[in-house]
Amino acid sequence: MSSDRIQDKSLKFDWFFIVVTLTLMTFGVFLVYSATVGEELAVYDTHWFRQIIYFLTGIAIAVGLVFVKIDWLKRVAVPSYVIALVMLLFVLIFAGDVKGAGRWIDLKVIKLQPSEFAKIAYLITISYWLSKHPVSLHKLKTFLVPLGLFVVPFLLVLKQPDLSTALVFTAVTLVGFFFAGLTFTDLFLIVSPVLSVLFSHSQSMVMQVLWGVLICLVVFSVLRRHLSKKFSGVIIATNILAGYASTMVWNMLEPHQQKRVNTFLDPMSDPLGDGYQVLQSLTAIGSGGIGGKGFGNGSQTNLSFLPEEHTDFIFSVLGEQFGFVGCAAVLVLFTLFLWRASSICKTNDDPFVTLVTMGACTIFLFHITVNIAMTIGLMPVTGLPLPFLSYGGSFALVCMFLVGLLMCLRYQGNK
């Protein structure tokens, strides 16, 4: 093989993207180590050592995926989707509960979380369908199949119950609809009933005014898109009914989900109960100041005041030990990661590549946004981990699978 041929092949690897990913993984291992350094376990049983094994396994998977043909990904879309549904049904029927939620299959060596792997199967399947069948609010029948593909895994994950992960499927679907033909106005009309529920639930004057403004925007958007009179009437009526039915929707939430919302609105209402996590997280991040207390020197972490410090609240550990500087550095790395990942869309004319790329970026962005917002009190506490930083076998493997998928799409780009 000539030197020019070798150089062409090497340029198909985004080395900057790879370095950013490996840097985030390294940060993650060190943070998990500092959060669990007090464990009295054999090295091979510690969280940080297991995380290294998960990442090394994930790297092997990612490297293998690079050379998988895009056409093969399309062929396995539907079979992988069916397998994912079977696994989700299995955990609902047979899996035991962990902290009140049946989400894991215990294989002794690792606890597999089927909902994590279902994200990948769903992403590939919905992307394959939408790449061949664009959607339009002027032709509602174009939504029948994609909504059917979405509803089944969404309800199965919601039944676990795992609302935060179910919302990941929602985000992937909406982004897919956008790249399959919808406009921002169309997406606004689709999510407007949910906004009506949120705004009308509170009895405060401000929220009621916001709901009124929302209804006006819905009417304006419907007229602007020149939708049929029948469909326009359904959208407007749905928003009004959704607003008045907000109490019913609230009662449909699980008790722990209601507590999370109430704690989010007022953490001090239960400082030793449901508000404890948020308050301890804010204390940890705030105590880090500009430069942090230093690696391994976080009092909130070392004294176990911060719950789930190595999983859900790993960003709090980062803030306490490395301060504003460390948090800013990680946010910059995440920004660079998403920027380089989204640029893959420019390397191939195939709509399937664009849909998979932006769907994968959506999964990462959703996890990053929700997890960090949760730790600083801007969103209710959820179980969504932070990519590459939070401890977890299934999630670490899924993150690396998505990285391998992105590298595969870039490697086989025709531009």
Integer Cα distance of 62 and 64 in angstroms: 5
Look up residue 395 and give its two tokens: 């999630």
Residues of the chain with pLDDT under 70: 1-12, 38-40, 95-104, 106-110, 201-204, 247-254, 256-276, 296, 298-308, 414-415
Per-residue pLDDT at 257: 65
Per-residue pLDDT at 253: 67
Per-residue pLDDT at 45: 75
Per-residue pLDDT at 415: 66
Per-residue pLDDT at 265: 55
Per-residue pLDDT at 275: 61
Look up residue 139 and give its two tokens: 């032709």
Distances (CA, A) of 337 to 30, 124, 343, 370: 19, 21, 10, 17
Integer Cα distance of 82 and 118 in angstroms: 10
Q: Give the chain as a 3 state SS string.
A: CCHHHHHHHHHCCCHHHHHHHHHHHHHHHHHHHHHCCCCCCCHHHCHHHHHHHHHHHHHHHHHHHHCCCHHHHHHCHHHHHHHHHHHHHHHHHCCCCECCECCCEECCCCEECHHHHHHHHHHHHHHHHHHHCCCECCEHHHHHHHHHHHHHHHHHHHCCCCHHHHHHHHHHHHHHHHHCCCCHHHHHHHHHHHHHHHHHHCCCHHHHHHHHHHHHHHHHHHHHHCCCHHHHHHHHHHHHHHHHCHHHHHHHCCHHHHHHHHHHHCHHHCCCCCCHHHHHHHHHHHHHCCCCCCCCCCHHHHCCCCCCCCCCCHHHHHHHHHHHHHHHHHHHHHHHHHHHHHHHHHHCCCHHHHHHHHHHHHHHHHHHHHHHHHHCCCCCCCCCCCCCCCCCHHHHHHHHHHHHHHHHHHHCCCC
Per-residue pLDDT at 199: 77
Per-residue pLDDT at 100: 47
Per-residue pLDDT at 281: 77
Percent of the chain with pLDDT over 70: 81
Query: Do residues 294 and 321 touch, judged by C-beta distance below 8 A?
Result: yes
Integer Cα distance of 139 and 10 in angstroms: 45
The number of beta carbons lying within 10 Å of the beta carbon of residue 10 is: 9
